[in-house]
Amino acid sequence: MWEFFQWAWNLSWGEGFTLLAVLFAFWYGKKWIDNKFGSINQKQAKQLKRIIREAIDESELIDRIK
């Protein structure tokens, strides 16, 4: 890893900006892929939270009845 930092330190300004652009493109692509395919979206998260909350409320109601 240290060798990468030494290599990056010795880059010219043009190569440095190019490297930053490439790293940003990879980061943004990974973020887009994760949001599109890897994880649940906001709507699904809210639905899951509502279902969990209903289950907790229902279990508390059953405990009160007993």
Residues 23-62 pLDDT 10s: 999 999 998 888 788 767 788 888 999 999 999 988 887 7
- Domain residue extents for the chain: 2-65
Report the pLDDT value the prediction gives residue 66, as an integer from 0 to 100: 64
Report the pLDDT value the prediction gives residue 44, as an integer from 0 to 100: 84
Please give the Cα distance from 15 to 6 (Å, whole number). 14
Q: Is the pLDDT confidence value at 65 over 80?
A: no
pTM for the structure as a whole: 0.51
What's 7's DSSP letter?
Answer: H
